Structure 1
Amino acid sequence: MDLVSTSREALRIGAVSYLNSKPLVHGLTALEGAQVRFDLPSRLADDLSAGRLDVALVPIVEYLRHPEYQLLSSACVACWGPVLSVKLYFRTPPEEVQRLALDEGSRTSAALAQILLAQLHDVRPQLVQLPIGDSIDDVEADAVLLIGDRAMQTSDDQFAEVWDLGDRWCRWTELPFVFAAWVARPDLPVHASQLADVFDSVRDRGVAAIESIVAAEAANLGLEPALVRDYLTRYLHFTLAKREQLGVELFAKHCRELGLVEASRSSLEHSS
């Protein structure tokens, strides 16, 4: 599909290279009229806010923080239980956490970790950042949040406790959790309805190509193909439907209560 029919310039798309997003970006670079750049979710969010991108796959909390943004598609990264790639590693019991290190790449997961600590243990820790280039051993903190591929590659053995944040949320709320979605600025240079079809189609083709994604990414990340397949087919799903919307709305409520978002929406709507 040609994305330049209503714009003089190529559409600037920000995409995530984590394993959890592969079905949403598979074949994306082949789109005509698009410039696709891959980066961390947090950096994409900053570039979208600054106008350096038109569209990006960003943490869902960024959509909640910007009422002017448009949710473009039903394509998302979500879970119904354990997610495997968003984990909170504790060096002390959860109720004793005073200092929390947050993965530089995280925004939604950072908010989720704070919500769960506050709601389940009445804990509001001091926050520090764990840069992408640093390992979990490089930071002095009672708990460390890791997301993405390095969360899947870190052993649980040396810690007092490990939370899979998807699992904790779903058990607590009995709702799915949505981590990321395709979001656009209000000055989008093409019709939003056109992009909804594009990103839904890219997602559908990516899901259909799971086996080729599994083969490539297992080798790339040094993970067992069975684990990668289970991760992409059993642990994650990629469609934002009614229960996912309810999950986002509940997440927004807790974000507001903790002051993690200044503005939020009463409902979730995407272009059609």
Structure 2
Amino acid sequence: MPITVGRTPYLSSEPMYFDMDKRGIGVVELPPNELTTAIAENQIQGGLVPLVDTFDLDDSMRVLGGFCLATVAQAGSVKLHSKLPITDLAGKTVAVPWESPTSVKLLQVLMELKHGVKPTAYVTGDEDHDARLLVGNMGLRHRRGLREHPHVYDLGEEWAQWTKLPFVYARWVVRNDVERQEALVLEDSLYTSLQDWADGLYRVKGPAIPLPIHPQEIHVYSQGLRYYIGRPEELAIAKFQEYIGQLA
């Protein structure tokens, strides 16, 4: 029986799904914070889930190979837009996209441990705020800045400058009851999809999600993305877990 996997509706995850339709793999779009629950409840059988969710997976699922979503320096689509310098945000209010838990936790780590500031509250984008974290396609749409938010901080760049490491935002996870052959087909599809992207297929098809972004900008953006976990990514994951443990 064909499996169904989840994808986040972000341009950064698009390269992983090019080949799946040809393999008969079903794909449904879900926000990042709903993927792990959907897998646990067997609504879908796998997906690219937030890194923070993989730190405590239940017995029904496992990480799939070394597939991930990471950045080596600038994230490009994960930025804090602030009315004040980041060092002046102590006691202020920061709006965050709660549907992207890894990016929110990264922001907390950077603010509290790197810059030594703790906001009064983290709120939704609809509430009054002094700074706002934008991620994914929303981050790309406003990549050149937000009105009245002159201070912009790329979280991937902030992390890389601080740790000299890449940052891993998400990892592929599958259910343990997915048959071995189905898991192998999924892995092979991921490899093929990423190769098609690397070979420039996106230039022919264009992004599946309409964005006001030039193809050349997509190319530059994609050059900073990584989809396989190597030793630097392993070290980055361990360092991030360590820092999360230090948060008050």
- Structure 1-normalised TM-score? 0.79
* Counterpart amino acid of residue 151 in structure 2: E
* Counterpart amino acid of residue 255 in structure 1: I
- Aligned to 1:62, which of 22, 32, 53? 53
In 1: Cα distance, 2:129 partner to 2:149 partner:
12
1:255 aligns to what? 244
Q: Does residue 127 of the first structure (1) align with residue 122 of the second (2)? A: yes
Give the Å deviation of 1:128.
1.6
* Counterpart amino acid of residue 181 in structure 1: R
Give the Å deviation of 1:74.
2.4
Give the conservation status (yes or no) of the 8 Å contact 1:20–1:148.
yes
SS of structure 1 residue aligned to 2:70: strand
Give the Å deviation of 1:182.
0.9
- Aligned to 2:148, which of 152, 158, 172? 158
In 2: Cα distance, 1:27 partner to 1:195 partner:
10
Give the Å deviation of 1:189.
4.2
Give the Å deviation of 1:178.
1.0
Aligned length: 241
- Aligned to 1:175, which of 145, 150, 165? 165
* Counterpart amino acid of residue 121 in structure 1: H
2:71 aligns to what? 79
* Counterpart amino acid of residue 103 in structure 1: P
Q: Does residue 223 of the first structure (1) align with residue 213 of the second (2)? A: yes
* Counterpart amino acid of residue 106 in structure 2: L
2:95 aligns to what? 101
In 2: Cα distance, 1:80 partner to 1:89 partner:
21
* Counterpart amino acid of residue 27 in structure 2: V
SS of structure 2 residue aligned to 1:88: strand
SS of structure 2 residue aligned to 1:217: coil
Give the conservation status (yes or no) of the 8 Å contact 1:72–1:195.
no
Deviations 1:109-146 (A, max 9, x none): 0110000001122223312233xxxxxxx431122111
SS of structure 2 residue aligned to 1:61: helix
CA RMSD of aligned residues (A): 2.3
What are the equivalent positions in structure 2 for 1:236-247 lying under 5 Å apart? 236-247=225-236
* Counterpart amino acid of residue 35 in structure 1: G
- Structure 2-normalised TM-score? 0.86
Give the conservation status (yes or no) of the 8 Å contact 2:33–2:100.
yes
Give the Å deviation of 1:185.
2.9
Give the conservation status (yes or no) of the 8 Å contact 2:203–2:215.
no
Q: Does residue 31 of the first structure (1) align with residue 17 of the second (2)? A: no
2:34 aligns to what? 43
Give the Å deviation of 1:219.
8.9
- Percent identity (aligned): 27
Give the Å deviation of 1:194.
5.1
Deviations 1:129-187 (A, max 9, x none): 33xxxxxxx43112211111111111425314111000000010000111122112333
In 2: Cα distance, 1:219 partner to 1:20 partner:
11
Gaps of 5+ in 2: none
1:112 aligns to what? 106
Gaps of 5+ in 1: 1-8, 131-137, 260-272
* Counterpart amino acid of residue 257 in structure 1: Q
